[in-house]
Amino acid sequence: MPSETRTVAQSLAQLTLFSDLTQPQLEEVAHTVGEEMFAEGQRVLRQGMTGGGFFIIVDGAAQVVIAGEERVRLGRGDFFGEIAALTGGPPTADVVAITLLRCLTVPGPELEAFLLDHPRVMFRMLQAEARRLETANLWLR
Amino acid sequence: MAALERPFPPGTYDVVVVGSGPGGLQSAYCLGRVAISRYAVLSRDDSPGGMFRRFPVFERLISWTKPRAPFERDTREYEWYDHNSLLGDEPAHRGLVPSFMDRTFDLPAREEMEAGLRSYVDRAGIVIRYGCVLESVARDGDELVLSTSDGEYRCRAAIFALGVTEPWRPELKGVDLARHYADTGRAADYDGKSVVIIGKRNSGFEVAQGLLPWARQITLVSPRPVQTAVLALSALRVRYLHPYDEYVRGGSGTYVLDAAIDRIERADGGLRVHAEGTTWEGKVELEADEVIVATGFRTPLEPLADLDVATVADGRIPAQTPFWESVSAPGIYFAGNATQGSPGMSKHGGSASSSSVNGFRYNARVLVDHLARTHFGIEPQRQRVALADVVPFLLAELARAPELWIQKGYLARVLTLNGNGSVDEGIQPLAHFVDSAGPVGVAAAVEVAADGAIVPVVYLRQNGRVEEHALPVHPLREFNGPEQGAALEAVLRPLLR
């Protein structure tokens, strides 16, 4: 992965979240989102701390940790940080890179405007959240 | 007559610095003042200054230096007012850029900046091996092997201050028909011409502004809309927003367009740019005598190709840890403009000032301390702070520390505490303090909140947990007032008993 040559626009084109966008729209998004990489073991999202962003994994894997305990693993195409960014509260979990991790990012305060500017992305995000709820409901039954 | 001997011959060193721009110079200065005696500084150039030997094209910086301030130029506090001089431990090495300014603006001209850097090298006695070109870097066990035009250098850690100065062109059909910003040339050469500028960030607007008195028509085009709210607070605003202002007010001859470029081609003795709207539907063909791609620069990482140095931003910038080490290639450190590849916590989307001298000069100093400690077991001398003095000490830092005020939410003043007293652990990356287990301690930072307010924040680390406490703000930003003191006292009370 380090000698990655894909552009941000090419990375976006491979993610479900952006699958409804035209090429010019993808390029506009590529200029809007940031790109960050984390070394293995680095913290990406911090439980209880304000000001976190929204992250979409492009390459690598991460673990969601609550009170020191791993709850779930995340990989390519998964996203996190949106709950805290949308509710304005601090994240309720840590997210830690367990491999070299490449993410696209939108700062928390910019997420609302980003979603309003890209309603097809908002719909895809809502769909993913609905699936998460469905899974959670199955667990509760 | 014997030929002058060049310093730092090929051989084995503890640390090698590559580059003689401000990032390389600051690293070299700091290395000379810690107990790492075997270090070398190499540069392919023949004089110091890095990018400031050539850029910016229109000769005026966008970062301020206030020749007059409430503090003398040779003080630490003055650094807050002078965003261009490098840092000195001794007063004679501080605040050198303003002495070269003719004071037409509070922004130095390129040559004034270059003169300031040259004088820093002379006064501080920084030694550099010029004309030494880095060709490749390889690993041999624990050592790094730097192959150069002068021979082989071996070291345990290397600091690459290579700049972000290699013209970067997007993958685009016909892009070779366009000039890069770096090759803009003289404004007078655009007399009466129609110019398309691809890019709407610093360099795009700088070129547009420079050509306003000459060109017949100017069109700035790129996929993303101009971020007026961001620009209003950016360094760019200081000089270059005029072209955008003309467009927004319906002035003729200047256009700012949100469109993705499809291709550039030759047409009717000139050039034609085909583009498709991103925030509007439709296509457009732009006729131009000249096309300039102002799409920015990249770090020249070719010599590091064998080490798998991971990059971000379409391959432009090396991705780094909070201590500016490559996330994928251990022992490879960066200084200077490239340290923007270590974004820190980016709380509320706030960004550090690591892409300009004012911010990265501090990164270099923190990095050299970190290298000394982690690679060579050299502990810096730390001052003890009596428990009774902890609150006033932190308040003074929150009110005046240039590191905290310039690298907001990125660098922090750290103290460790135990029953007997407290130790000043110096300036550290905030992300490092927050994410690493360590002794009981407190970090003080100045941050930008979600609503844009500048806020003093302290982080308390104990029992493996870190808590964040925002302190009260002040309309004149006097963060050492009684209200802040009482709040900080309350946060620290359990530890200061």
Among the partner residues B276, B308, B314, nearest to A24 by beta-carbon distance? B276
Candidates A28, A42, A116: best to mutate against B (most CBs of B within 10 A) is: A28
Number of domains chain B is built from: 3
For residue B421, is it within any domain?
yes
Q: A with B: how many residue pairs have Cβ under 8 Å apart?
A: 103
Shared domain for B342 and B437, answered yes or no, is no
> What is the distance in angstroms between the Cα of B431 and the nearest Cα belonging to chain A?
9
Determine the straight-line distance between the first and last CA of chain B, rounded to whole angstroms.
Answer: 70
| pLDDT recorded at residue B236 | 62
Spell out which residues of chain B touch residue A81, defining contact as CB-CB under 8 Å. Answer: none
| Residue B1 in this model has a pLDDT that exceeds 60 | no
DSSP per residue, B44-79? SSSSS-GGGGT-STTSB-SS-B-SS-SS-TTSSGGG
Domain membership flag for residue B5: no
The nearest alpha carbon in chain A to B261 belongs to A24
Q: Which of B251, B270, B295 is the last residue of a domain?
A: B295
ipTM of the assembly? 0.92
Do B266 and B311 belong together in one domain?
no
The answer to whether A42 contacts B321, with C-beta atoms less than 8 Å apart, is: yes
Cβ distance A24 to B277 less than 8 Å, yes or no, reads yes
CA dist A12 and A1 (Å) reads 16
B78 plus B143 within the same structural domain: yes
Q: Which of B250, B267, B295 is the last residue of a domain?
A: B295
Kindly determine whether residue A108 and residue B349, on different chains, have CB atoms separated by under 8 Å: yes
B223 and B191 both lie in a single domain: yes
Q: Which of B318, B353, B376 is the last residue of a domain?
A: B376
Amino acid at B269: G
- pLDDT band at B231, cuts 50/70/90? low
Structurally, at CATH architecture level, domain A8-132 sits in Sandwich (2.60)
Nearest to B346 among A1, A102, A107 (CB): A107
Q: Helix, strand or coil for residue A57? A: strand
A60 contacts on B by Cβ (under 8 Å): none
Q: What is the pLDDT of residue B380?
A: 85
User: A1, A17, A4: which is closest to A123 by C-alpha?
Assistant: A17
Contact A4 B224 (CB under 8 A): no
Radius of gyration in angstroms for the set of CA atoms belonging to chain A, rounded to a whole number: 15
CB atoms A51 and B315 under 8 Å: no
Residues of A in contact with B343 (CB under 8 A): 34, 36
What residues in B contact A58, CB-CB < 8 Å? none
Helix (H) or strand (E) segment spanning residue B441: strand B441-448
List C-alpha distances in Å: B157 to A100, B104, B143, B216, B262. Answer: 21, 43, 8, 53, 44
In this complex, do B346 and A105 lie within 8 Å of one another by their Cβ atoms? yes
pLDDT in tens, B307-353: 999 999 989 999 999 999 999 999 999 999 999 999 999 999 888 99
Domain harbouring B356, CATH code: 3.50.50.60
Residue B318: closest C-alpha in chain A: A37
Nearest CA among B362, B467, B142 for reference residue B458 = B467
DSSP state of B347: G
Q: Is residue B80 part of a domain?
A: yes
What pLDDT, on a 0 to 100 scale, did the predictor assign at position B496? 81
Domain span at B200: 175-295
pLDDT confidence band for B234 (50 / 70 / 90) = low
pLDDT in tens, B437-480: 889 999 999 999 988 899 999 999 998 899 999 999 999 999 99
- Answer whether residue B486 shows pLDDT above 70: yes
Q: In terms of domains, do B55 and B18 share one?
A: yes
In a shared domain, residues B411 and B432? yes
- Partners of B276 in the β-ladder: B260, B283
Residue A53 has pLDDT above 80, yes or no: yes
Check whether residue B50 and residue B116 sit in a common domain. Answer: yes
Minimal CA separation from A134 to chain B, in Å: 31
| Residue B202 sits in the same domain as residue B309 | no
Task: Locate the domains of chain A by residue range.
Answer: 8-132
Q: Do B310 and A2 touch (CB under 8 A)?
A: yes
Question: pLDDT at residue B159 above 60?
Answer: yes
Residue B2 inside a domain? The answer is no
* Residue B227 pLDDT exceeds 80: no
Domain-located, residue B327: yes
Peptide bond into B70 cis (omega under 30): no
Beta carbons within 8 Å of B487's beta carbon, 6+ residues apart: B469, B471, B472
Query: Minimal Cα–Cα distance from B115 to chain A, Å?
Result: 35
Are both B126 and B222 inside the same structural domain? no
Say yes or no to pLDDT of B2 above 60.
no
- How many other C-beta atoms lie within 10 A of the C-beta of residue B464? 8
Coil, strand or helix at B458: strand
Angle formed at CA B414 by CA B412 and CA B416, multiple of 5 degrees: 165
Q: How far is CA B174 from CA B4, B291, B297, in A?
A: 49, 11, 19
Q: Is B3 among the domain residues?
A: no
B418 has a pLDDT exceeding 90: no
* Residues B472, B350 within the same domain: no
Q: Is the pLDDT of residue B118 over 60?
A: yes
For residues A107 and A47, the answer to whether their CB atoms sit within 8 Å is no
> Which residue out of B228, B258, B280, B314 would a mutagenesis test of the A interface target, given it has the greatest number of A Cβ atoms within 10 Å?
B314
User: CA-to-CA distance for B16 and B24, rounded, in angstroms?
Assistant: 10
What does the pLDDT look like over B265-319, one tens digit per residue? 999 889 999 999 998 899 999 999 999 999 989 999 999 999 999 999 989 999 9
C-alpha distance from B468 to closest chain A C-alpha (Å)? 7
Residue B219 tokens read as 């069109």
Rounded to a whole number, what is the distance in Å from the CA of B197 to chain A's nearest CA? 16
B343 and B421 together in one domain:
no
Question: B214 and B338, same structural domain?
Answer: no
Task: Enumerate the residues of chain A whose CB falls inside 8 A of the CB of residue B327.
Answer: 37-39, 42, 100
Specify whether the CB–CB gap between B336 and B122 falls below 8 A: no
Amino acid at residue number B433: F
Nearest CB to A7 within list B308, B314, B345: B314
Is residue A7 pLDDT above 90, yes or no?
no
The b/e string for B343-370 (b: 16+ C-beta within 10 A; e otherwise) is bbbbbbbbbbbbbbbbbbbbbbbbbbbb
